[in-house]
Structure 1
């Protein structure tokens, strides 16, 4: 029996991964452990027979208990982005505990090209990948491209005003759905064969801002003009809208990374892992039309 642990199981990605383990890959619930800072938030998974454990990345003792008896652990990157360096510290602690606990396979959710990325949190991913490899544990790195889901936060407001301010320039990005990333990660866990490999999960096409806007406009029936600005001006605009400074800086840096070409890659890794084609951006936005029009 391969005992699987998924950290961050209360988050959107964690929930979707466990759904695919249970429903797509038919992994017995008794083989799955869902972990979160507050396991009481995971009652719906517990009702399906999934074991629940507390795992606080700032508390080594809770990690010790969570990782005990685990064969394969998936470390989903945490949401500790407000304090520079905190997330990398958390991830390194989890990797160290996994090694100490005798875990046989460690998987980690990363991002494309973290070694040259301009995104503010890229050093967290690069540092974690390095820690995973240095641990000596058999590993799988799963680098997830930029989510199509990310557009569902700001795009309803953009559609209301008919303008999308972006610092993507002429850069392209191979957006992918969060659910496809979850299915790919679940495939890695269900396979249970560590290969010391890195997979990059992307959508099937790389698109620029004008192409993305046209797809969104077609899906919603509403006009959307692209207004290209500098990363600095975009950051000021986001801060002016009331979002925290670190969020504004992160979003502007992601656009700058697209403009630099660092998100412009399409791989077949999703199909390699799942045997299916990843969802197109057109299909994603058709499904999420109501969310786009929710403003």
Structure 2
């Protein structure tokens, strides 16, 4: 009886080996290697904290190679681990003052750090950047914290055609004004701006009320305290202006063709200025906006 059982067990084991061998012949064995690139990519300025600190976002790319027998070779790549760092832009230091990254393998692209990312994003306050399609939700990343997403309820107040939000700045009573590049001057039944209330988790699309019609001309707009500040750009003649509450023209230390609000900072062409008590004090550091280099007297003072 014992011998019969051994023969049966041996036959069963041989059958398993045959099936396993057949599978190997048909599909082949594979070995997968995953590795992150040593160097991070796509670094760009996403905001300014104050008159010496800048926020820089980047990401890390990866490669996955599956080397299989029988032409089962695969080579794929992607990017992830979006990171937010804070650097000094007045003095070259050894590295960032602070950094934190998302641990995900695939980049969300929400904060505009991904290759060819088309998702809207920008600076919201002095220490927060935003991203996403704000008609449904907004994702916020604050210095010292990890990103979080807020789902939003949408309301339409006096208009029916919404727009894609491309700018979110501080507004009345702790809310935020959301607009696109051209929405303020939109006509007919098109919404011109939106009020974002992150506490109530509501975004309300609106037409400009009578006392706000004047901001149609603004390229950038935000609140400071109880006052509305507006940047009107004249790129052709470099005769741009900053208005306070429609009628008060704020004196600027230099003429500028392009610019706008970056958190609590004001960018006048290539110059970075702190803006307090209706006075703009500009640093001797120049940033042209298309690279991670800051200049002083035609020489590079900081490079990332």
Give the structure with the higher percent helix: 1
TM-score higher than 0.5: no
Larger radius of gyration: 2
Q: Which structure is higher in strand share?
A: 2
Relative contact order, CA 8 A, sep 6+: which one is greater? 1
Q: TM-score range by the shorter chain?
A: under 0.3
